[in-house]
């Protein structure tokens, strides 16, 4: 396939190559070769004809541009391709040419070609997920005890651990890798049904031909033709869309944490990466930009797949063709986002000191809830709430830390001083101590994610 300069900016050459015109045509020819070979094995066509057909099933032998142009007029890429294949076979064996594409239909060859291409695309995604999960696993283990501000509704909330945040980014990726494999196990199946899905031309030999073809192409043997039953296929596409959404979430958080005013994280720099021609002080998060752009486009592709499911009778008019056009876009975006984030996380700059400074800059207000809970056990919840509300106003007005203001209030009140452990109260303002609950939760979750990732690494997916 050809992509615009702006499309290529948001994806990778490897994924473009998977859905390139030549790759799809070669996959279609692979179908034709497997069909003829299987039919010869079942005695439906002469073995010599199958060999003759297979001998010219190489995309390099054909004018792919001309086939694509003719396909627009014919309404299907398969029609001019089969015509050119038939001509090529006839040059060597006129009788063999009569057996080309026998018993199948255009959608059989195109759908199966897309399945073969998608298998390669899924391998690229699996490899990328392996790498990104590995980066996140290492970072999360390293920063389990690193305090950082949690932020809700785009505002500072309480203290969590950076490892907890990283684990939250990692978990959907491990799940996505597993679910893509599960969906692929059902969706990567041979399409072979003939004109109306019944394999009528091949008679009783049809199922055996299909079984041989599926084995030859290393695809699942479908229970029946799925020309207009697109549920498993679309479900696979939607899993790719969900993955891209998860990548967009990571890119959003990373971009926000890389803002100059926060500066807790930064993408790698140097060699012209992320620079600004007019503002040399800038360090633009280009990986986040690519991932966010890819994620922004993805819902439209996913919606188009769902819109195309209402296909008419045994063969769809327009909706199947729309699905074909939208399908590669899902994978182009997903791999572009994955590749970009792998670039970022391979050398991500983490600034724990800045994370602490951002916590300290809030004068201890993020610890107010913990202090209020401790006070409530002694003076009751309403009194504790009223006291903290009064003291936080003082903090805002004076700029003094809440720990100091609260300590002064306790020292000035004999009743409070007698009942409270001032040392323990001050410990509630320790960022490292405040991050411990998140630290413990993340550590437990990280063990399970590491085991699941290792399990996925040890098992060869269907598409390898």
Is 384 in the same domain as 332? no
For the cut 90, the answer to whether the pLDDT of residue 288 exceeds it is yes
Report the domain count for the chain. Answer: 3
Is 352 in the same domain as 251? yes
Is 267 in the same domain as 337? yes
Is 231 in the same domain as 291? yes
Per the model's pLDDT, the better-predicted residue between 61 and 280 turns out to be 61
Q: Taking the model in full, what pTM does it have?
A: 0.94
Is 269 in the same domain as 376? no
What pLDDT is stored for residue 32 in this prediction?
98
Among 345, 341, 237, smallest CA distance to 290 is for: 341
For the cut 80, the answer to whether the pLDDT of residue 296 exceeds it is yes
Is 263 in the same domain as 380? no
Q: Tell me: the pLDDT tens digits for 156-196?
A: 999 999 999 999 999 999 999 999 999 999 999 999 999 99
Residues marked active site are found at 276, 315
Inter-axis angle of helices 78-90 and 106-142, to 10 degrees? 110
Is 210 in the same domain as 66? yes
Give the whole-number percent of the chain exceeding pLDDT 70: 96
Q: Tell me: the pLDDT tens digits for 16-42?
A: 999 999 999 999 999 999 999 999 999
For the cut 60, the answer to whether the pLDDT of residue 141 exceeds it is yes
What pLDDT is stored for residue 413 in this prediction?
86
For the cut 70, the answer to whether the pLDDT of residue 266 exceeds it is yes
CATH of the domain at 381: 1.10.40
Is 110 in the same domain as 99? no
CATH of the domain at 454: 1.20.200.10
Q: Which residues, including other chains, have CB under 8 Å from residue 284's CB and lie 6 or more apart?
A: 274, 275, 276
Inter-axis angle of helices 78-90 and 21-41, to 10 degrees? 60
Distance in angstroms (rounded) separating the CA atoms of residues 263 and 292? 19
Is 286 in the same domain as 205? no
Is 348 in the same domain as 298? yes
CATH of the domain at 20: 1.10.275.10
At residue 276 the predicted structure's pLDDT band, cuts being 50, 70 and 90, is: very low
Distance in angstroms (rounded) separating the CA atoms of residues 364 and 146? 17
Q: Dig out the tokens for 229 from the structure.
A: 């039953």
CA angle 215, 221, 222 (to 5 degrees): 160
Per the model's pLDDT, the better-predicted residue between 378 and 29 turns out to be 29
Q: Which residue has the tokens 């690519």?
A: 290
Identify the domain containing residue 167 by its residue range.
106-189+226-356+433-464
Q: Tell me: the pLDDT tens digits for 74-131?
A: 999 999 999 999 999 999 999 999 999 999 999 999 999 999 999 999 999 999 999 9
Is 202 in the same domain as 349? no
Is 248 in the same domain as 302? yes
At residue 279 the predicted structure's pLDDT band, cuts being 50, 70 and 90, is: very low
Average pLDDT, the chain: 94
């Amino acid at each position: 396939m050809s992509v615009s300069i702006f499309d290529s900016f948001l994806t990778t050459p490897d994924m473009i190559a998977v859905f390139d015109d030549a790759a799809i045509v070669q996959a279609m020819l692979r179908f034709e070769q497997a069909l003829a070979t299987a039919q010869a094995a079942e005695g439906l066509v002469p073995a010599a004809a199958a060999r003759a057909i297979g001998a010219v099933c190489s995309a390099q032998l054909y004018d792919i541009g001309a086939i694509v142009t003719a396909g627009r007029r014919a309404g299907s890429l398969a029609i001019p391709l089969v015509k050119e294949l038939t001509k090529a076979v006839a040059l060597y064996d006129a009788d063999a040419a009569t057996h080309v594409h026998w018993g199948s239909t255009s959608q059989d060859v195109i759908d199966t070609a897309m399945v073969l291409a998608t298998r390669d695309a899924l391998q690229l995604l699996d490899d990328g997920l392996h790498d990104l999960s590995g980066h996140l696993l290492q970072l999360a283990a390293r920063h389990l005890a690193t305090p950082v501000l949690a932020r809700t509704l785009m505002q500072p909330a309480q203290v969590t651990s950076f490892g907890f945040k990283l684990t939250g980014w990692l978990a959907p990726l491990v799940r996505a890798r597993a679910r893509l494999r599960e969906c692929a196990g059902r969706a990567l199946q041979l399409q072979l049904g003939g004109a109306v899905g019944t394999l009528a031309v091949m008679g009783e030999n049809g199922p055996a031909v299909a079984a041989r073809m599926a084995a030859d192409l290393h695809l699942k043997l479908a229970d029946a033709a799925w020309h207009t039953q697109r549920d498993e296929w679309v479900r696979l596409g939607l899993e790719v869309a969900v993955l891209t959404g998860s990548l967009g979430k990571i890119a959003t958080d990373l971009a926000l944490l890389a803002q100059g005013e926060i500066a807790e994280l930064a993408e790698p720099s140097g060699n012209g990466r992320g620079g600004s021609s007019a503002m040399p002080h800038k360090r633009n998060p280009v990986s986040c930009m690519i991932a966010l752009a890819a994620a922004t486009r993805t819902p439209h592709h996913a919606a188009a797949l769902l819109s195309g499911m209402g296909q008419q009778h045994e063969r769809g008019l327009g909706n199947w063709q729309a699905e074909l056009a939208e399908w590669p876009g899902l994978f182009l975006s997903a791999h572009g986002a994955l590749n970009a984030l792998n670039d970022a996380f391979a050398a991500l700059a983490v600034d724990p000191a800045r994370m602490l400074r951002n916590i300290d800059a809030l004068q201890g207000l993020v610890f107010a809830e913990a202090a209020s809970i401790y006070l409530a056990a002694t003076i009751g919840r309403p009194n504790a709430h009223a006291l903290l509300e009064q003291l936080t106003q003082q903090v805002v007005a004076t700029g003094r830390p809440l720990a100091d203001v609260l300590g002064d209030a306790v020292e000035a009140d004999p009743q409070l001083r007698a009942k409270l452990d001032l040392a323990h109260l001050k410990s509630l303002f320790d960022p490292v101590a405040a991050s411990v609950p998140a630290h413990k939760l993340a550590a437990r979750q990280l063990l399970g994610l590491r085991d699941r990732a290792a399990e996925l690494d040890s098992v060869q997916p269907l598409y390898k």
